[in-house]
Amino acid sequence: MNATHLLMAQHRAIEALFDDVAHETRRPQRARAASRLTEELIAHMAAEETIFYPAARAVLGRTRGPGDVGGRVPDEHFMLRVQLRRVLATSLHTPAFTPRFEALRTLFSHHVQAEETEIFPRVEAMVSASRLESLGAEVEGSRPPIWIVTTETHAAMLPTRDRVMRGVRLPSLTEN
């Protein structure tokens, strides 16, 4: 899959997980959704930072202003990491969790907006379709198997031979 389309599909999957955590009332299911959200967010940011942005930088060079893909990894990534740490340090079952979680969701929304309205269109205009396809394959290949098997959305996109472990569940990291 084209890299920008794949990264946008990941955005939709992560948004759905934010909704799951926000609306789920059953504790085990909510904790599981929070664990999956964490894994997806880390995998997404790692793929963008190590694969997508270096490739975009090589093509577009360094520019100034909004949508700068030639400079450092977007500030949103740094903010997301800081806020994700705050959320992970907070029990799901305390009053402090919701405002921290909602702040993380707002930061992710800004991340999506910046990429889908500014950065991805510029990259799509400058990078060949075949290069975007190969970058997409790199992004897919960058996911450690242990993260792939915990995500039904992504598992559905894998070749059949890679789906044998689909359905395996890890213990939640945030049950307590």
Count Cβ atoms below 10 Å from residue 55 Cβ, excluding itself.
19
Q: Which is nearer to Fe ion, 90 or 103 (CB)?
A: 103
Q: Per CB under 5 A, which of residues 3..32 are in contact with Fe ion?
A: none
Least distance (Å) from Fe ion to the CB of residue 175? 28
Q: Which is nearer to Fe ion, 34 or 119 (CB)?
A: 119
Give the residue carrying structure tokens 């100034």: 64
Question: Which residues have a Cβ under 8 Å from the Cβ of 18 and sit 6 or more positions away?
Answer: 37, 105, 108
Q: Which is nearer to Fe ion, 4 or 35 (CB)?
A: 4
Q: What x-and-dash track marks residues 60-99 binding Fe ion by CB under 5 A?
A: ----------------------------------------
Q: Which is nearer to Fe ion, 43 or 92 (CB)?
A: 43
Question: Which residues have a Cβ under 8 Å from the Cβ of 81 and sit 6 or more positions away?
Answer: 45
Q: How far is the C-alpha of 169 from the C-alpha of 125, rounded, in Å?
A: 40
Question: Which residues have a Cβ under 8 Å from the Cβ of 25 and sit 6 or more positions away?
Answer: none
Q: What x-and-dash track marks residues 94-133 binding Fe ion by CB under 5 A?
A: ---------------------x------------------
Least distance (Å) from Fe ion to the CB of residue 80? 9
Least distance (Å) from Fe ion to the CB of residue 44? 6
Q: Which is nearer to Fe ion, 31 or 136 (CB)?
A: 136
Residue length of the chain: 176
CB-count burial class (<10 Å; 0-12, 13-18, 19+) for 6? buried
Q: Which residues bind Fe ion (CB under 5 A)?
A: 115
